[in-house]
Amino acid sequence: MLPVRLRRAVEGLAVPIRAMLANEYGPSFQPEEIASLTAAFDAALNKLGLVDRQDPVTMTVAKLIIKLAKDGGRDPEKLCDGVLKILGK
pLDDT digits (tens, 9 = 90+) for 50-71: 988 888 899 899 999 999 998 9
- Model pLDDT for residues 11-53, shown as the tens digit of each residue: 444 557 877 777 666 567 888 888 899 999 999 999 999 988 8
Q: 31-48 and 56-70 are packed helices; what angle lies between their axes, rounded to 10 degrees? A: 140
pTM of the complete model: 0.75
pLDDT at 17 (0 to 100): 80
Query: How far apart are alpha carbons 78 and 80 in whole angstroms?
Result: 5
